[in-house]
Chain A
Amino acid sequence: MSKNITLRFEDSEYTLEFTRKTVHDMESVGFNVDDIDTKPETCITKLYEGAFLAHHRTVNKDIIWRMYESIPKKQEFISALYEMYCTTLNTLFDEPEENEGNATWGVNP
């Protein structure tokens, strides 16, 4: 199962998720996930709003942004949204097999 985020705010529960259709819709109005480095604020805004399209297309933007203000650990939250967004593409291709002469990597402490 792919990941999704459940937000609880003012006695309501919201499921944030990306489907290929919502990603397609976001790109059709100019969203480009590659802008996350060059235009982070704009990109994050659209990424967050886009996460509501799959299940909560009609939710008021005022509520969406009041919710955002109250979300703790925003950086982790945005990273999770970014990963969910990229999953729509990554799941279409196989991961390279291990030990096929590919590069290796590891996180340094």
Chain B
Amino acid sequence: MGSEPVKGTPPEKEKTFAEIFEDVCPYYMSIGMSYDDFWNGDPEMAKYYRKAEKIRMKRENRNLWLQGLYIYHAVGDLAPILRFRTRGSVKAEPYLSEPFAIDEEEQKEREEKSRAESLLRMRDMLSELSRKKKVGDSGGRTDSK
């Protein structure tokens, strides 16, 4: 037997509060908490920094998704001219004229604006038709003074 070394890893010593604080301090500083706030501030602050970080990650994730969507649309618009042996007359679609609506409120505003523009166009068309009909009825004659 002799004095053989014990095999296997020794049990991990439980960390003290101070050791854990030193381990996690860099993480909290990386998410915006100051050194002073971490060590000397209200301990509850850490909870709110974590929640804020989750919100920030969600927002960044959504921004990246939106960026991907713009790139996807842009490549789609360019697709006609990216094909091998395209004819000279083929043109790319124009890039989006405005950003995507990012919430329901903006979507509703755009739909209302589009509806209002359609109504205006119809009204103009009807006025034009009515004018042409009047000219046609009068035989094309106009009174001169």
Contacts and interface: CB of A to CB of B under 8 A. Distances in A.
Interface of A: 1-2, 18-21, 23-24, 27-28, 32-33, 54, 87-89, 91-92, 94
Given A20-B21, A20-B38, A92-B24, A27 B43 contact: no
B66 interface: no
A28 B18 contact: yes
A94 B49 CA distance: 12
Contacts of A33: 17
A20 to B, nearest CB: 5
Nearest to A21: B39
Interface residues of B, number: 18
A2 B46 CA distance: 11
18 contacts: A2-B44, A19-B41, A20-B21, A20-B38, A20-B39, A20-B43, A21-B40, A24-B17, A24-B21, A27-B17, A28-B18, A32-B16, A33-B17, A87-B44, A89-B21, A91-B43, A92-B20, A92-B24
Interface string B20-63: 11001000100000000011111111110010000000000000
Contacts of A18: 43
Contacts of B24: 92
- Output the residue of A21, A32, A33 with the most chain B CB within 10 A: A21
- Output the residue of B16, B20, B24 with the most chain A CB within 10 A: B16
Nearest to B39: A21
A78 B21 CA distance: 23
